Amino acid sequence: MTMNIGASIPAAKQLVAAVENAGGTVPAALTNALDGLDLLNAHAAPSDPALSILSAAVDGTLDAERLDQLCADAARDEAINTYRQQLRGRAEGLFLDRFHRTLCGGAADEILDSLRDQFTSAANTLAEATALVDMTVDPRQLADHGSPEELAAYRSVRPAVAKLDEISSIAALFGPRSISWAVLDLPQGVDDRGLVDEAVCCCTDGDLVQAGAVFRARTSAVPWLRITPHLNSIAEAKERLRLWAEKAFDATVSNQGRGRFEDGKFVPMPVANPYAASAT
C-alpha cells in the first residue's frame, strides 16, 4: 500500500488526537514513532565550544591537555549535531512511512476494535429510539403530546448520531478514497465515483454505491437513519469493497464477442474478473 499524498506529521497527530478524544486506544507503536520524531526535532543545538575554552583560560585551568580534551569534546558534539541535522532532513519521510506501515500492519484494526463497543452502543441507542419515535414528527408536537419514554428516546438521538459521526470520521481515514491513511486499496479498472469511505467501513448491508449516496446527502438527512450502522473490521471492509468491485467490473467489461477464430471456429477469450473470489 502506497502512502497517500495527504499523509503528514500533523495529520498523524490529528489521527491520534481524534482516537483519544473519541475514547479509543492508540497503539503504542504509533505514539512512540511520533514521540521519537518530536524528540529528534526538539534537541537543542550544542553551545559554542569556544566559550568553554575561553572560560578555562580565564579561570587558569586551561593547559595543553585540557585544551585537547575540550577540542575533542567539541568535535564529537559537532559531528553528532551535523548528523542529527542531516537526519532531521529525511526523518519525517521515514517516520511517516513507518506510521503508515504500522496502520496497514494491524494498528488500524486495533484502533477500530477499541472504538467498536461505543459505535455499537450508539447504533443500538439509535435503533431503539427510532423504534419508539417517528423521527418525521414535528418536535413541537412530540413535546406537547409525547410520553416520557418517547421524549427520552428522542433526546437520545442527537448524542448517538454525534458518536456515530465521530467514530465514522476516524474509520473513513482508512478507507480506499482517503487522502491520508488509506489501508484499503482503491479498486482499479472500475468506476469508483460512487464510493464513499463511510459506506465501505461503517455499514454492513445494501448496495455500496447507494449507501454512499446516503452519506453524500448527509447535509440534508441523517445517514444513520437510512442505513444499518456497523463498524467493520479492515477485513470486513475489504470484502465489502471486493464484492462491489466484482459486480462493477462485470458491469463495466463486456466479454461479448471477445475471442479469436481458429480453424474457422470462434474461441471465446473472456477477460477474467480480477475481483472474483477465485482470483483473490
Q: What is the pLDDT of residue 271?
A: 79
* pLDDT at residue 75 is higher than 70: yes
- DSSP code per residue over 107-166: IHHHHHHHHHHHHHHHHHHHHHHHHHS-TTS-HHHHHHH--HHHHHHHHHHHHHHHHHHH
Assess if residue 280 is contained within a domain: no
Task: Give the single-character DSSP code of 105.
Answer: I
Tens-digit pLDDT profile for residues 90-132: 888 899 999 999 999 999 999 999 999 999 999 999 999 999 9
User: Looking at the 3D structure of the chain, how many domains does it have?
Assistant: 1
Task: Give the single-character DSSP code of 3.
Answer: P
- CA 249, CA 187: separation in Å to the nearest integer? 10
- CA 124, CA 119: separation in Å to the nearest integer? 9
Q: What is the pLDDT of residue 232?
A: 95
The mean per-residue pLDDT over the stretch 264-277 comes to 80
Q: What is the pLDDT of residue 257?
A: 61
C-alpha cell at 233: 473490521
Assess if residue 77 is contained within a domain: yes
Confidence of residue 160 (pLDDT cuts 50, 70, 90): very high
- CA 162, CA 158: separation in Å to the nearest integer? 6
Assess if residue 178 is contained within a domain: yes
| Buried-exposed string 266-275: b where 16+ CB fall within 10 A, e elsewhere | eeeeeeebbb
Assess if residue 163 is contained within a domain: yes
Assess if residue 156 is contained within a domain: yes
Confidence of residue 280 (pLDDT cuts 50, 70, 90): low
* pLDDT at residue 15 is higher than 90: yes
Q: What is the enclosing helix (H) or strand (E) of 244?
A: helix 234-252
Closest CA to 7 of 95, 89, 122, 72: 95
Assess if residue 30 is contained within a domain: yes
Task: Give the single-character DSSP code of 232.
Answer: -
Assess if residue 201 is contained within a domain: yes
Q: What is the pLDDT of residue 254?
A: 66
**What integer best gives the mean pLDDT of the chain?**
87
The number of beta carbons lying within 10 Å of the beta carbon of residue 167 is: 28
The pTM assigned to this predicted structure is: 0.81
Tens-digit pLDDT profile for residues 127-154: 999 999 888 888 888 887 888 898 999 8
Assess if residue 57 is contained within a domain: yes
- Give the N- to C-terminal CA distance of the chain in Å, as an integer: 16
Task: State which residues form the domain around 74.
Answer: 9-250
**For residues 205 and 193, is the Cβ–Cβ distance under 8 A?**
no
